[in-house]
Chain A
Amino acid sequence: MKRFISRPGAVGAAGPPDDQPGVTARPDDGRAITAEPDIGTAGRINGRPSPGRPRWRARAVPFWFLIPALALYGFVVIWPSLQGAAFSLTDWDGLSPTKDFVGLANFRELWSDDVARGAVRQTIIIAIAVTIIQNGFGLLLALGVNTQIRSRNLLRVLLFAPAVITPVITAFLWRHLLAPTGAVNDVLGAVGLGALQRDWLGNPDLALWSVVAVIVWQFAGLSMVIFLAGLQSIPREIYEAAAIDGTGPIRRFWYVVRPMLAPAITINLVLSMIGGLKLFDQVWVMTGGGPGRATETLSTLLYKEAFQFGAFGYSIALAIVLTAFVAVLASVQYGFLRRQEESAQ
C-alpha cells in the first residue's frame, strides 16, 4: 500500500527516465496499482503544455464548424440581448410606439436610488450567504453520506430530493411553514423552545435570512451531489496511504481530500454564487420583496420596474447592472478557484 506514495521513485528505478511517466510505468508495475494514479495525473497532462498536446491539435475540428451554431446563437441570444441593452438608454414605457434617447440617465437614477442600492446590497448578501452556507452544508452532507453508514443510498436520495422540486413550489410551502401560526413555530412551541418563535418572514431583520435558509434547504442537496461525485473519484489508496502515514480526519480532509475536490468546489461555488445573484422565484413568492423592501433583490426590483411600473428603460438598466455583477463576480471567483485548483495539483 505504500506503493503509491513511493511511485515516482519506483518509476525512476524500474524503467529509463521518460517524458511520459504515466505511460511507461504501466508495463513495469501491477495493473491495478498503476491504473489508479493515472486518474490523478490526467488533468495535469491536459492542463499544461505537454507532449500529449500536438496529438490533440492534429485531431482538432476546423473552427468554421462552429459557424452554424454561432450564427443561431447570435441570432437568438446575442443580437436580441444587445438590442434589449440599447433600450436601457431610452425612456421606453413598454407600451407606447415612441421612445426618447436619454443617454445614461437611467444608470444615474439607479445610482442615486435608495431602493436600487438596497436591492444591490440585499442581492450581494444573499449571494454570499447562500454560497458559503449552502456549500458548507453540502460538503458536510457529502462527507457524511460518503461513509459506510447503512442507509447512505436512501439518505442521498432524501437529501437531494428538495433540489428537484420547482423553487416556486418549495417557496409556497415554506411561506406556510414559516407563517406566525405555521408549522415551524408550532414545532418550536411543542418542544419547549417557544422563546425562539419568530415572525420569520414578517420581521424585516429576519426575512432575508429566512429566504437564505429556504434556499440552502433546497439546494444543499445539489451541492452535496456534486461534492459526492468528487469524493467518489478520489482513489481509496490515497485515503489508505494517508491513514498509514497517521493523519487524523481533519488533516486528512485538508491536505488530501480538499485538493482532490478542487474541481467540485469550483463548480459548486460558481453555480451557487450565480444562483444567489439572480435569485427571483423564492423571494417573489415568500415575501414579494417585503416586508417593506427588506428582501428586495435586483431581480424582483427589475421585474417590478418593468411589469408593474412600465419603466422598461430603467429596468433594463438594472438588468445590465445585474449581468455585470454576475459576470465580474463569477469570473473573479472562477479565476481565483482555478489558481487554487492548479496549485492543489
Chain B
Amino acid sequence: MRNQRRFVTAAVAATTMVLAACGGDADSDETTEGTGAEGNQADAPAGEDGADLSGTLTLSGTASDRPAVEAVIELFEAEYPDVTVETTFADTEPYQATLRTQLTSGTAPDVFFAWPGNGNPGAVQVLAPNGFLRDLGDRPWADSVPEGMHAVTDVDGTRYLLPMAFSGIGAIYNQAAMDEIGAAAPETWDEVLTLCQTAQDAGKVAFALGNQTNWVTQLINYALAATNVYGADENFVDSMAAGDATFAGSDWVGTMEQYMQMNDAGCFQSDPLGTSYETTIDMVATGDALAVVQGTWAIALLAEQAPDGEFRLAALPATNDPNETVMPGAPSGTFAVNAEPAEPDLALAFIDFMATPEAMNTFAETGGSLPAIPNDQYEVDPALEELIEFQSAGRTVPFMDQLWPNPRVQEAHLTGVQEIFAGETSIGDVLQTMDEAYAKGQ
C-alpha cells in the first residue's frame, strides 16, 4: 500500500523533476518529453542544492535493516520535502538474488545495501570489480570511516561502502533471568561451563541455540574464534591469504571442540538442530533461556518481545584470561551507490545525508547497534556498553566470513556444524572442507 502511494507521488514528482532541475517553473503544467534528467542534472553539484532537490530515489535493503532505514528515510524526506524515496526490502537470500539480477540488467536501485568484505554473492568485493558500484572516495565523510573497517568497506584501496552501524557478536543475556538464579555473565571459559551447570540446576537453559536456521550455526564459533584464532594471532587473516595457515591447522580445531564441549556440558536446550532462530529469541525473551549467542541485531527483537526486559550483550570468553577476550565486531548497514544511478544527485545527497551524525544515530538506535562513525551525540544503549568498550579498545575483529574469498567457505562451515551436531561428520573433516573451499579463491 505504502509503496503504491509512493509510486503515484513518484510519478507526479518525476514529471516535474526535469523542469525543476533546469530552474523552470515546477508548477507548470507542461509535460516534458523523455526521461532524460541526467544530462541537465549532471552539472548541478550534488548535495549543495539542499532542499531544492526533487524526484524519486530508489533504495533497497535487507529486511533486518528495514526499521532503521525507514527511520532515516523519514528524516531525509523531512529535510528534502520534494524527494520521495521508494524502497524495497527482502530477506537475505532473495535480496542477493534480486540485487545481482538487477545489477546485470541495469535496473538496480540508486542506493542499495551491499555486504561488507567478501564471502557472499552480495558482498562489495564481489560487486565492485564488475563495475557496478560508484567510488565514494570523494564524499565529505569518506575519511571519517574508522580505519578498522577499511578492510571490508574498500576494494583495492577504493571506498565503496558507507557503514551505518557497528554490530558485534556475543552472548545476549536476559538480566532478569540471570538475577533469578543469582548468576553473573561469565568472564572466563570455566565460568561459561559453570553457568551451564547452574542453569541446568535451576531448570533453565543457559544458551538457546537455533541451529535449524543455518546462519545461526556459525555464531558460537565466531565468538570463540575471535579470541582463540584472530585475537591470538593478529596476522592470521594475512597468513591464510598467503597460504601459510589453514583452518584445520589452526586453533579453529580447539574452537570447534569448545563448541562441542558446550553441547556435551548441556549448555544448550535439547535438539538444537530442530530449533529455529525465532524460537531461541522466544526462549530468551521469556527467560526460559538465560542467553543466546547472537549479533546485536537480536537485541531489538528481544526488546520487541519483552518490552520490559533488560538485555545485555557481553563477549563470550574462550580462555581463562579475561584480558585475552576479543569480540567479533563489524560494520553493518553498509550502503553503496549504483555506478549508474537513475538519479545521481539524489543518490549522492541521500548517502551524504546517511553519513550525518543525526541519521547515523537514528539508524543505530532503531536497529540496536552502534553508529559506525562515532560521534558525541550518541547516547549509549546500556545493552551495548561492553561492545563500545571493546570497540574503543581495539579488541574487535571482523566477522570471519567477511574476509573469506568466496561464499562456499561459509556454506561449508554452516552445513558442517549441522552435520557435526547430527553426529555425521568430524571437526577435522569440516575444517578440511572449509580449507578446500578457501583454496578455490575468488
The answer to whether B274 and A199 touch across the interface, beta carbons within 8 angstroms, is yes
**Bound form: Cα–Cα A306–B104 in Å:** 14
* Chain A residue at smallest Cβ distance from B275: A180
Give min CB distance, A182 to chain B, whole Å.
8
A343 at interface by CB-CB < 8 Å? no
**Bound form: Cα–Cα A203–B275 in Å:** 11
A204 at interface by CB-CB < 8 Å? yes
* Contact residue among A180, A292, A310 (Cβ-Cβ distance under 8 Å from B418): A292
Give min CB distance, B90 to chain A, whole Å.
12
The answer to whether A309 and B272 touch across the interface, beta carbons within 8 angstroms, is no
The answer to whether B407 and A309 touch across the interface, beta carbons within 8 angstroms, is yes
The answer to whether A201 and B104 touch across the interface, beta carbons within 8 angstroms, is no
The answer to whether B126 and A199 touch across the interface, beta carbons within 8 angstroms, is no
Across chains A and B, the number of contacting residue pairs, with CB separation under 8 Å, is: 93
The answer to whether B273 and A202 touch across the interface, beta carbons within 8 angstroms, is yes
A260 at interface by CB-CB < 8 Å? no
* Contact residue among B103, B121, B211, B269 (Cβ-Cβ distance under 8 Å from A308): B121
The answer to whether B274 and A179 touch across the interface, beta carbons within 8 angstroms, is yes
The answer to whether A307 and B93 touch across the interface, beta carbons within 8 angstroms, is yes
The answer to whether B270 and A180 touch across the interface, beta carbons within 8 angstroms, is yes
Provide the residues of chain B in CB contact with A306, threshold 8 Å.
97
The answer to whether B104 and A94 touch across the interface, beta carbons within 8 angstroms, is yes
* Contact residue among A202, A287, A308 (Cβ-Cβ distance under 8 Å from B271): A202
The answer to whether A292 and B425 touch across the interface, beta carbons within 8 angstroms, is yes
The answer to whether B418 and A290 touch across the interface, beta carbons within 8 angstroms, is yes
The answer to whether A180 and B104 touch across the interface, beta carbons within 8 angstroms, is no
Q: Which of A272-329 contact B (CB under 8 A)?
A: 287-288, 290-294, 304, 306-310
The answer to whether B273 and A291 touch across the interface, beta carbons within 8 angstroms, is yes
The answer to whether B212 and A181 touch across the interface, beta carbons within 8 angstroms, is no
A200 at interface by CB-CB < 8 Å? yes
* Chain B residue at smallest Cβ distance from A181: B279
Q: Which of A56-111 contact B (CB under 8 A)?
A: 94-97
**Bound form: Cα–Cα A290–B269 in Å:** 19
The answer to whether B274 and A202 touch across the interface, beta carbons within 8 angstroms, is yes
**Bound form: Cα–Cα A169–B230 in Å:** 42
* Contact residue among A96, A287, A293, A294 (Cβ-Cβ distance under 8 Å from B130): A96
Provide the residues of chain A in CB contact with B96, threshold 8 Å.
307-308
B419 at interface by CB-CB < 8 Å? yes
The answer to whether A203 and B422 touch across the interface, beta carbons within 8 angstroms, is yes
* Contact residue among B93, B406, B408, B418 (Cβ-Cβ distance under 8 Å from A291): B418
* Chain B residue at smallest Cβ distance from A115: B415
* Chain B residue at smallest Cβ distance from A287: B212
Q: Report if A179-B419 is in contact (Cβ < 8 Å); known contacts: A94-B104, A95-B100.
A: no
Provide the residues of chain A in CB contact with B213, threshold 8 Å.
288
A178 at interface by CB-CB < 8 Å? yes
Q: Which of B393-442 contact A (CB under 8 A)?
A: 406-408, 411, 415-416, 418-419, 421-422, 424-425
**Bound form: Cα–Cα A290–B418 in Å:** 7
Give min CB distance, A86 to chain B, whole Å.
17
The answer to whether B415 and A293 touch across the interface, beta carbons within 8 angstroms, is yes
Tally of chain B residues near chain A (CB < 8 A):
36
**Bound form: Cα–Cα A181–B93 in Å:** 27
The answer to whether B421 and A291 touch across the interface, beta carbons within 8 angstroms, is yes
**Bound form: Cα–Cα A294–B275 in Å:** 16
**Bound form: Cα–Cα A180–B273 in Å:** 9
The answer to whether A310 and B279 touch across the interface, beta carbons within 8 angstroms, is no
B127 at interface by CB-CB < 8 Å? yes
Provide the residues of chain A in CB contact with B416, threshold 8 Å.
292
Interface residues on A, range: 20 to 34
The answer to whether A179 and B425 touch across the interface, beta carbons within 8 angstroms, is no
The answer to whether A292 and B121 touch across the interface, beta carbons within 8 angstroms, is no
Q: Which of B87-114 contact A (CB under 8 A)?
A: 93, 96-97, 100, 103-104
Give min CB distance, A62 to chain B, whole Å.
40
**Bound form: Cα–Cα A309–B406 in Å:** 8
Most buried by B among A201, A202, A294: A202
The answer to whether B126 and A310 touch across the interface, beta carbons within 8 angstroms, is yes
Q: Report if A178-B214 is in contact (Cβ < 8 Å); known contacts: A293-B415, A294-B422, A307-B121.
A: no
**Bound form: Cα–Cα A95–B96 in Å:** 12
**Bound form: Cα–Cα A203–B423 in Å:** 10
Provide the residues of chain A in CB contact with B97, threshold 8 Å.
306-307
The answer to whether B425 and A308 touch across the interface, beta carbons within 8 angstroms, is no
Give min CB distance, B143 to chain A, whole Å.
30
The answer to whether A175 and B276 touch across the interface, beta carbons within 8 angstroms, is yes
The answer to whether B407 and A95 touch across the interface, beta carbons within 8 angstroms, is no
Provide the residues of chain B in CB contact with A202, threshold 8 Å.
211-212, 271-275, 422
**Bound form: Cα–Cα A310–B214 in Å:** 19
The answer to whether A95 and B274 touch across the interface, beta carbons within 8 angstroms, is no
* Chain B residue at smallest Cβ distance from A204: B422
Provide the residues of chain B in CB contact with A304, threshold 8 Å.
411
Most buried by A among B93, B96, B121, B214: B121
Provide the residues of chain A in CB contact with B406, threshold 8 Å.
309
* Chain B residue at smallest Cβ distance from A294: B422
**Bound form: Cα–Cα A310–B104 in Å:** 12
Provide the residues of chain B in CB contact with A200, threshold 8 Å.
274
Residue interface bits B280-301, CB-to-A below 8 A is 1, else 0: 0000000000000000000000
Q: Report if A95-B103 is in contact (Cβ < 8 Å); known contacts: A290-B418, A307-B97.
A: yes
The answer to whether B126 and A180 touch across the interface, beta carbons within 8 angstroms, is no
Q: Which of A158-176 contact B (CB under 8 A)?
A: 175
The answer to whether A201 and B127 touch across the interface, beta carbons within 8 angstroms, is no
Give min CB distance, A97 to chain B, whole Å.
8
Provide the residues of chain B in CB contact with A309, threshold 8 Å.
121, 406-408, 411
Q: Report if A201-B418 is in contact (Cβ < 8 Å); known contacts: A95-B127, A292-B425, A310-B100.
A: no
**Bound form: Cα–Cα A200–B212 in Å:** 11
**Bound form: Cα–Cα A204–B279 in Å:** 20
Q: Report if A291-B212 is in contact (Cβ < 8 Å); known contacts: A179-B279, A180-B271.
A: yes
Provide the residues of chain A in CB contact with B127, threshold 8 Å.
95
Provide the residues of chain B in CB contact with A287, threshold 8 Å.
212
* Chain B residue at smallest Cβ distance from A293: B415
**Bound form: Cα–Cα A203–B271 in Å:** 8
Q: Report if A203-B104 is in contact (Cβ < 8 Å); known contacts: A290-B214, A291-B418, A309-B121.
A: no
Provide the residues of chain B in CB contact with A178, threshold 8 Å.
274
A interface residues, Cβ below 8 angstroms from B: 94-97, 175, 178-181, 199-204, 287-288, 290-294, 304, 306-310
B interface residues, Cβ below 8 angstroms from A: 93, 96-97, 100, 103-104, 120-121, 126-127, 130, 211-214, 269-276, 279, 406-408, 411, 415-416, 418-419, 421-422, 424-425
What are 15 A-to-B residue pairs whose CB atoms are below 8 Å?
A: A94-B104, A94-B121, A95-B126, A95-B130, A179-B279, A181-B279, A199-B270, A200-B274, A201-B274, A291-B422, A292-B416, A292-B419, A293-B415, A310-B100, A310-B126
6 closest pairs, A vs B, by CB? A202-B274, A202-B273, A292-B419, A307-B97, A180-B271, A199-B271
Given contacts A290-B212, A290-B415, 8 further A-B contacts (CB under 8 A): A180-B270, A201-B212, A201-B273, A201-B274, A288-B214, A290-B418, A291-B421, A308-B411
